[in-house]
Structures are given as C-alpha cells and as structure tokens.
Amino acid sequence: MALSLVTELGHTAVLKGMMLLFLILGIFVPIRVMGQGGNATGSSSRPSVVNIGALYTFDSVIGRAAGPAIEAAIQDVNSDPSVLAGTRLNLITHNTNCSGFLGTMEALQLMENDVVAVIGPQSSGIAHVISHVMNELHVPLLSFAATDPTLSSLQYPYFLRTTQNDYFQMYAIADLVSYHGWREVVAIFVDDDYGRSGISILGDALAKKRARISYKAAFTPGASKSQINDLLVEVNLMESRVYVVHVNPDSGLSVFAVAKNLGMMTSGYVWIATDWLPSLLDATEPVDTDIMNLLQGVVAFRHHTPDTDLKKRFISRWSGFKTNRSAKSGGFNSYALFAYDSVWLAARALDVFFKEGGNVSYSSDPKLHDTNGSTLHLASLRVFDGGQEFLQTIVRMNFTGVSGEVQFDTDKNLVRPAYDVLNIGGTASRKVGYWSNYTGLSVVDPEILYTKPPNTSTSNQHLYSVIWPGETAKVPRGWVFPNNGKPLRIAVPNRVSYKDLVAKDKNPPGVRGFCIDVFEAAINLLPYPVPRTYMLYGNGKGNPVYNELVQAVASDNYDAVVGDVAITTNRTKIVDFTQPYMESGLVVLAPVKEEKSSPWAFLKPFSIQMWFVTGGFFLFVGAVVWILEHRINHEFRGPPRQQLITIFWFSFSTMFFSHRENTVSTLGRLVLIIWLFVVLIINSSYTASLTSILTVQQLSSRIVGIETLTASKEPIGVQEGSFAWNYLVDELNIAEWRLVKLKSQDDYGRLLELGPQGGGVAAIVDERPYIELFLSTSNCASRIVGQEFTKSGWGFAFQRDSPLAVDLSTAILQLSENGDLQKIHNKWLARSGCSAPVDEIDENRLSLKSFWGLFLICGIACFLALITFFCRVICQFRRFAPEDGQEPEVEEIEPARPRRQLRSTSFKDLIDFVDRKEAEIKEMLKRRHSDTKRASPSTDGLPNSPP
C-alpha cells in the first residue's frame, strides 16, 4: 500500500537526498551480516545461511497481518527438508514507520546486509524509490502490498508484485459502474503514487465503458478531519453521487466518518471502496459496531483467494502466530496470504537457483566507490552477482500457495486476477458476486468459470442485489442536481416569427409556446425536482442562428437549449439531444395555380400506357373468342368483312356488358367470364378516378421538388437562423447568392407572391412544421411540392454526458404514449389549413402497375384456351387427312357450298379445315368411318361374282 510522503520528488533526486542526509547525520556506517560459508568475493553453491530482507510498517493494518505471516513462512521453510536442504533463511526486517522518509532510510540500511531478495515494501512510494537501488544492486524486490500499476513498467525490472495489480481492480470498478448504468463518478483518493496511479487507470477503464471521472478529490496523506470535511463539502456540490474511495486503510475511515456527519451516507448516494476497506475490516477483531455503522451500504472489492485446504489450514494456525516485532497481535487479512506466499516464492526459487548451479556471491560496483574523500561508504553496497539469473528463476516459478496459484504472466503480474464484491450491511459484509478479467462480474466462483470458455459480454454480467445507503434495494440514479443554489441554465431562442413554438412572455417563467409546454410536461414526470431558469438567446430583432446557440451549450455558457432545435449530425457531435418530440424535415414550398377544366379530362384517369394496353386487350380477347366460337357458333360466321366487324363489335361492347353474341363453347365462356371480371375492375377504377378529377380542385406548379430548384438559377427563400441554409450550400451545392433570408412570417407569402421576376423567390425551403404553420394562416396560394428530402426531428439539447438528457427522453416517450404530447400539439399547432400537397393530387392518375396482375391472368387464360382449341383441331385434322394417296370426295353438305376435295395435308388445307363448321367435320368423319366398314370384306383377296 502507498504510505510514502516523498513521492512528489523525482526518484533520482530522492535517492541523492537520502544519501546526503546520511552524510550529515553521520549514521551511514558499513554493516554486513554475511551468510555462513559466504565471503566478499563469492560463496559456495549451497551456503548454510542466506539473508532475506523484509520491509513493512510494523504497526499498521497491513503490517500487523504481514509480519506474523512472514515470520511463520520463514519458520516453515527452515523446517521443511524438501526446500533449501542444508540452507537456512535468515530474516532481516526493518520498520518503515508509515513514513516515506524513514522507510527510504530503512530500505537503504537493509541493502547493506547482502540480502538475496527483499519482501516488501507495502508502500508504493517507497517501492518507487528503492526499486532504483534494486536495479543497481540486482536484488529482486517481492512486494506483497505495493499495488501501484506503474510499478509494472520496464523501468523497474527487479520489482515483482506478489499481490494483485490495481490495474485490474480499477477495471473491476469500471465494470460495476457500467453494470448499474452510471456515467459519472467522483474519485476520492490519497495524493501519492498509490492514489494517483490507481485513479488514472480508473479514468482509462471508465472511458472504455463510455463513463468518466467528473471530479478528482485528492487529499494529502495524513490529512486532518477538517481538511477532509472541506473536501467532501466541495464533492457534495457535484452532480455525481457515485464515489470511488481509494485511500490507505490506516486513515480511510476518516472519509466515511466525515461523510456520515455531512449526511452523505443516506439514500441516493453510492460509495465504492477499493481493497483497503475489506483489509481493514478483516483485520479488526472483534467487529467494531461503530465502524460498521459508518459503512452501511458501501460496496467494496477484496482480493479473491480460493478456499483451498492450504488456506484453511493457514487461517486455523493464525491465532498461534507470535511476533516480537509487531506492536499488537496481528489481524488477519488477504495481505497475510500474499506475504506468506512471497517468502515461499523466494525460497522455492532459491532452491531451483541452487539446483541449476547458481551461486550466491557479491561484488563491488565501480559506480559506488568513494570519491573526493567523501564519508559516504558507498562501497558497502554490493551487487548480487547472480541477481539476474535469480530474478528469471522467480518469474518462471509456478506453484499453489495459500493465496492460490502463484504464477506470473509476461507483464510480471499474477495470473487470473479476481476480486470478491462485498456489500457491507448490519455487522458484517455480504458477498454479492465476483469479478475476474476472465468473465467480468459473476455470481459464480471464478475457479468454476475458469473451466469454461471466457465470456465478458454485457449480457453475461450478473450480481446479487445490493442494499445501498439508506437501506434501499433500488439502484440509485447516481446523480442529482447539485445542492449549490445554481439552477439549470436553459437557453431559449428569442424568435420573431412562429411565436406559437417558443416566444418571450411577461408572465413566469418568462417564456411560452409549444416547445416550452412539452419541456415542462416532461420535467414534471421526473421523480426529482429540477431547478431551472430560462434565458432568452437573441436580440429580438431577428431569429438567432441555431448553430451558434447549440455551440453556446457545448461551450458551457448554458446547460441546455429548449426550443425548436433540429437534431442534425454536426450538432450531435458537440451536445446530447433528447428523444425527438416533433418530427421534422426539409420540404419545398412553391406557389401553385388552379388548373382550368379541359375537354379532354375524361382521358386523365388512365396513363397513356394504360390506355394502349387496355385497348389492345379488348381486341385480343375479341379475336380469341372469335377463334373459339367460329366453328360452332353461326353468329361468328359469315363473309370476312362481317366477321371482322363482329370481332370489333364484340370486343368493345364488353366494356358496357352489352354484347349481343352468345358464346356456346366451354373455352369461349371461360375466357369471357375472366375478361368481364377484368372489365368490371377497369370500369370501376376509371369511374372513381374520373369523379375525383372532375370534383377535386386541381392545382399545378412549375416546381415539382428540390430537383427543380437545384437545376435552376432562381432565388430560394430560407428562414433566418435555420440549418437549411448550410444544408443547401454544403450538401446540395447551391450558390449562396441564390439564398434569401426570411426574417418574418410575412416574408413567406410576400416573396412567393412577387416571384423571382418581381424581386421575390421561386420557392421556400424550410422545415415541415414551419411550413404547415404558415399554410394554416395563408390564403392557400402555395403548397408543399415534391417529397420531404431530409428526415430529422426537434429535441432538447444538453451538454455532453448529461444524465438529464436520458431521463427526459424517457419522459418524452411517456408523454407520447399517454397522449399528452398530442394534446399539447393540438393546443398550439392544430389548425385548419390548406388541402393536400400538389404531389398527392397528381397521384390520382392510374397506371399499368396497378392492373398488370389482372391483364396477366386474362392473358394466361386466353393462351391456355387457344392451346387447348388448336390441339383438338389438329387431332381432328389428322383423322380427316387422306391415306395412301386416296382422294376421297367430300359430299356437299351445304347447298350453297361447292364440292371440294382434300388432296394433300398442306397448310392451306389445315386453314380450310379450321374454317369449316364443327358439325360438318363430324359428319364427314362419320361418313368416312361407315365407308371404311363397308369396304372391309373385300380385303380377303376373293372377288365377289354374281350367281
């Protein structure tokens, strides 16, 4: 843990300052405790005694737990014949006294004792300083409590952390913040290496979750309660109510004591503590009810250590551990486990080091010789010759200790970092889940999850319910309006046109209009009060530029904008908008004129294509019916001229269902039924469309949409302050000289009436709500033409990451669902206006695309009927054709018809056959069949002679 008071100085400067202090005090004297069998130049491969150092604060929360654990580990190692056989560890401890100055001095004195490794320190600040010494002397530094993430950098190759890195703890906190949907936190931390580095990592972790630290509240180590009180008073003025407390265990309770006095441990507040708090509570024996009363509802993270048999046996031995160096009997916490495993890590690595031929020897460093008669005995600090090899041996160690698996990754961090998520309530803490970098937040033990594939998705994050401050299970919102007397600064555009939307008012709150009513209704749905004041933006002589108004919010001149502000891409990059409360989009308003009645109006219901296809189908169906009926129906026979007239008459008489000819064939009746259904639909559609055209007022405009304006060079009217100006210039590449500012609502009608020839405009481009308001009060001389060519909406703009934007979006949706939004719209904007836009009237003309299905069905029916008919005719013709060159004579059946002979099966014969009546063909086939039967007796070859 970080307890240093000197970390504000550079590490090199601190080291030089310490040595200068030793020179002044005259206490830097050579002290050496050599291991048995060792000497100044070398030692045997298996010395009988090896020195190992320990640095920690004896009388501290961490020290009281680490001290007994370190001494117990030394005893266990020395009594275990399987480890370091024939070699005993000699422990040399120094007390850092919770002081960066004294801790650094004690560390330098420790290094005079030719130690092979140092267990500690617990202070991240001291670890930063003495790591430079370890780099020079090649002595590994195994810290069980220095959690500063920056100590893992390449700058400290001999520093090895045997506890969890705060890097992972800060990501665990970020996951907890994201899990509950909070977006801002306040960081309360001690201003040293430990505190600053941890909070810096927390900021990075929150940024990845789209959250942030809104305020950093730092205090000096050992700050008084009055200083902490002043700090928390300032913190309480912030919007965020989520506090992350990252301090030292020996003084951290002061933060909660002051917070309770200030009423900051009540409902609505969220307090998240790092591992320092569980370490303090675990080490407190027995439970202090006064302390627990301060911490009700706090969520804390504790280093996760598996519940193995080794851990249980270690805990059962804890009460029997004795230490002569600790001021008090030790209180157990997770740091005792890490300290115990640190000694075993050094012992196991040293055993492997010896087995691989390593040698404990020391040599003088040429850089540390005495110069210029200095009394600094730098030569007493010697370099561990095998330090590099010993460090590599430690890094590759892998064993199971009381804290779990002891193994290092490529960054020299312990593998599988995990934390218990605790919720403090009553007189104990309750485990509500776990966090690991393998699966994130979970209610399942990490050791079980390690056997499954990793899954850190949002849907996989789970925790049990938490009892928050104020004894409530409802998740706090995480922010409130600051209790500092400053209401929300709301900018309102001071419009000179369309004042039904938003305008200045003499009565409170000073503004009125549709937008104001929607905002007030949404605010009233929030479960908390929102102090606010409306501030007019603009000089009142012209509409303000809305882009500048939105930029003023982004620049912190205002907290929000309430008005007819369109949500555009560029604006969303600098502010946050609520859910749209009004649909909008750019449209074209153009003057229209009434079309005079035309003598050819009866042709308008159908398009030209529709007319041609319909006429063609009338003739086609008439021809098909004639083909199907010609052989059997005398009404479809006669001279060619008469038959042609019959086809035309029958075709077009079906339009009025007045055809006189009867159909007698099955195929002909089938085709006629389908065609009469098609005619019925066409007649009904024609009648309805013609009625609409003749009775509805017909309007026309030479401008049909934005495409017409883009292609022309005529002037275009644009409302002052609207985003439409930039859109037309930047997106549609329309020259600015063509754009005319419309400063008032009267300018719309006046400039449209003047037209481009009289100094006016050809059309106006504006948002649909403005155009509809204008049309509701105009004389209907203009209309919306073409389609809406942009899609957007109006919303309320807030500063980035404002939680009020989210809550108001929910309120707007609620207004829309319960109908209140429509009621407000009807109050201000619902008026009788002009008729439908021009582009909708033109859609009355019917085209082929509406009827091609009917024509397809009819065509298929005709085609199938013709195929069936001709197949039957061809079968008859094959039976009727002469065989073996015979020339059968055909008896005249009809008196007026000359005798004909079928001599060959030519195409002409086929046409002649088709042209005959069906009854005649059947009679001829019958005669031929009878003749064939009478001639059959002569086929035996015997002539018949008379008697």
Q: What does the pLDDT look like over 395-415, one tens digit per residue?
A: 999 999 999 999 999 999 999
pLDDT(933) > 90: no
DSSP letters of 219-279?
A: E-TT--HHHHHHHHHHHHTSSB-EEEEE--TTTTHHHHHHHHHTT-SSTT-EEEE-THHHH
Q: What does the pLDDT look like over 532-546, one tens digit per residue?
A: 999 999 988 889 999
Q: What does the pLDDT look like over 480-529, one tens digit per residue?
A: 876 666 788 999 999 998 999 999 998 888 999 999 999 999 999 988 88
Enumerate the β-bridge partners of residue 245: 188, 273
The whole-number pLDDT of residue 41 equals: 36
Q: What does the pLDDT look like over 97-153, one tens digit per residue?
A: 877 788 778 888 888 888 999 998 988 988 998 898 899 899 999 999 999 999 988
The whole-number pLDDT of residue 275 equals: 95
* Mean pLDDT of all residues in 801-824: 92
Q: What does the radius of gyration of the chain's CA atoms come to, in whole angstroms?
A: 49
Q: Helix (H, G, I), strand (E, B), or coil: what is residue 437?
A: coil
* Mean pLDDT of all residues in 824-847: 67
Q: Mean pLDDT check: name the lowest of 273-277, 370-374, 712-716, 856-860.
A: 370-374
Positive or negative torsion for Cα 599, 604, 607, 612: negative
Q: What does the pLDDT look like over 267-277, one tens digit per residue?
A: 999 999 999 99
pLDDT(1) > 50: no
836's CB contacts (< 8 A; 6+ apart) are: none
308 — pLDDT class (breaks 50, 70, 90): very high
pLDDT(905) > 80: no
The whole-number pLDDT of residue 648 equals: 74
Q: Mean pLDDT check: name the lowest of 557-566, 694-703, 802-811, 900-909.
A: 900-909
pLDDT(806) > 90: no
* Mean pLDDT of all residues in 714-725: 91
931 — pLDDT class (breaks 50, 70, 90): low
Distance in angstroms (rounded) separating the CA atoms of residues 165 and 177: 19
At residue 247, what is the residue type? V
Q: Mean pLDDT check: name the lowest of 1-10, 202-211, 680-689, 769-778.
A: 1-10
Q: What percent of the chain has pLDDT over 70?
A: 81
The whole-number pLDDT of residue 596 equals: 57
pLDDT(716) > 90: yes
The whole-number pLDDT of residue 597 equals: 58
Distance in angstroms (rounded) separating the CA atoms of residues 495 and 722: 12
The whole-number pLDDT of residue 276 equals: 94
The whole-number pLDDT of residue 899 equals: 42
Q: What does the pLDDT look like over 250-268, one tens digit per residue?
A: 888 999 999 999 999 999 9
Distance in angstroms (rounded) separating the CA atoms of residues 58 and 72: 15
pLDDT(889) > 60: no
Place of tokens 């422990």: 91
Q: 92-106, 362-376, 555-569 — which one is most confidently predicted on average? A: 555-569
Helix axes 11-25, 100-110, angle to 10 degrees: 80
* Mean pLDDT of all residues in 764-773: 91
pLDDT(324) > 50: no
pLDDT(193) > 70: yes
The terminus-to-terminus CA distance of the chain in angstroms comes to 148
Higher pLDDT, 707 or 581: 581
The whole-number pLDDT of residue 8 equals: 35
The whole-number pLDDT of residue 161 equals: 95
pLDDT(208) > 60: yes
Higher pLDDT, 340 or 595: 340
pLDDT(13) > 80: no
Q: What percent of the chain has pLDDT over 90?
A: 46
Distance in angstroms (rounded) separating the CA atoms of residues 528 and 267: 13
Q: Mean pLDDT check: name the lowest of 30-34, 65-69, 376-380, 872-876.
A: 30-34
Q: Mean pLDDT check: name the lowest of 16-20, 499-503, 828-832.
A: 16-20
Q: 157-161, 805-809, 924-928 — which one is most confidently predicted on average? A: 157-161
Burial of 18 (0-12, 13-18, 19+ CB in 10 A): buried
The whole-number pLDDT of residue 880 equals: 65
Q: What does the pLDDT look like over 78-96, one tens digit per residue?
A: 999 899 888 999 999 999 8
Higher pLDDT, 849 or 164: 164
Positive or negative torsion for Cα 618, 621, 627, 631: negative
Higher pLDDT, 340 or 804: 340
The whole-number pLDDT of residue 684 equals: 84
Distance in angstroms (rounded) separating the CA atoms of residues 275 and 326: 22
